Amino acid sequence: AQKITQTQPGMFVQEKEAVTLDCTYDTSDPSYGLFWYKQPSSGEMIFLIYQGSYDQQNATEGRYSLNFQKARKSANLVISASQLGDSAMYFCAMRENNAGNMLTFGGGTRLMVKP
């Protein structure tokens, strides 16, 4: 079974609007972390945000927030006030503590911001 599932291969959002990118995960490890990375067309991987499985509050980093619903095993990324520079691939990833420091990635979502 897929450990990380991103069901939206591509999405459009109007500039200045908010957008939610979906991510569901599968693990039996009680201790894990969830990550979001951005990959612009230039190719580099940029870390955006992290959520630990025991964190009580949803993580936020500037315009990025992570909507963590543990019972549903979802970790959706919310980008507020979209900008043209947000157009990129977005990857959700998970680190399971019983698997060391390794990340398992989803297939990604391509976000396109319309002016």
Partner 1 sequence: IAGITQAPTSQILAAGRRMTLRCTQDMRHNAMYWYRQDLGLGLRLIHYSNTAGTTGKGEVPDGYSVSRANTDDFPLTLASAVPSQTSVYFCASSRWGDNEQFFGPGTRLTVL
Kindly state whether residue 91 participates in binding partner 1, applying the rule CB under 8 A.
yes
CB of 50 to partner 1, least distance (A): 4
Helix H, strand E, coil C: the string for the chain is: CCCEECCCCEEEEECCCCEEECCEECCCCCCEEEEEEEECCCCCCEEEEEEECCCCCCCEECCEEEEEECCCCEEEEEECCCCHHHCEEEEEEEEEHHHCCCCEECCCEEEEEEC
8: closest CA among 85, 111, 103? 111
| Residues 22-51 close enough to bind partner 1 by CB under 8 A | 33, 35, 37, 43-45, 47, 50
Give 45 or 81: the residue with its C-beta nearer to partner 1: 45
**28 versus 101: smaller Cβ distance to partner 1:** 101
Identify which of residues 77 and 108 has a Cβ nearer to partner 1 in the complex.
Answer: 108
Q: Does 112 bind partner 1 (CB under 8 A)?
A: no
Binding site residues, partner 1, CB under 8 A? 4, 9, 33, 35, 37, 43-45, 47, 50, 52, 91, 93, 100-108
